[in-house]
Amino acid sequence: MKGWLSFLSSELSAFEGKDILPMDRSKDLDFEWVPENPEQFEIFVANVPHRIVEGFGFIRYKCLPELYQVEHKEVSKIIAESFELFLIPAEWYSVIPAGYTLIDIFGKVFNFVPAISDQDVRDGCLSYGIALQSPVGSSENGSL
């Protein structure tokens, strides 16, 4: 899996002058809670209201600077129209369940492998996340 840092080192020269996300989170959290274990992680992503997930530190993929959305079409192909990709906060890395299905910013679906899956961080988030159902025209909850 290609991470943030390798992406930047290979693509940066083509995007000089574009907005580059900082390594640390640039926005304060509304909720400073991290699941204690993989079971809590799964319960959270299955039930969190779409409208508050960013308050926990998740970032909407579609809100990233253009530099990070070069594979937007690939991401859109694997996420249903009523869903959005949210990148997972870095602090949650240790509670992602082994084998959990995730989507990276390049539109690749993979199963999470602790200590092997990429840990690169930009703006406090990993380079992959979960698809959550949009509230427009459907219920607020759900994930890939």
**Which tokens belong to 142?**
């759900």
pTM over 0.75: yes
DSSP 69-104: GTTHHHHHHHS-TTEEEEEEEGGGGGGSPTT-EEEE
pLDDT at 80: 78
pLDDT tens track for 49-98 = 878 999 999 998 888 777 666 677 888 888 877 788 999 999 999 999 99
Rg (CA), the chain: 14
Cβ contacts of residue 5 below 8 Å, gap of 6+?
A: 120
Query: What average pLDDT does range 17-23 have in this prediction?
Result: 59
Query: What average pLDDT does range 20-46 have in this prediction?
Result: 86
Are 19 and 142 in contact by the 8 Å Cβ rule? The answer is no
pLDDT at 124: 87
Are 112 and 106 in contact by the 8 Å Cβ rule? The answer is no
What is the Cα–Cα distance from 102 to 120, expressed in whole angstroms?
Answer: 15
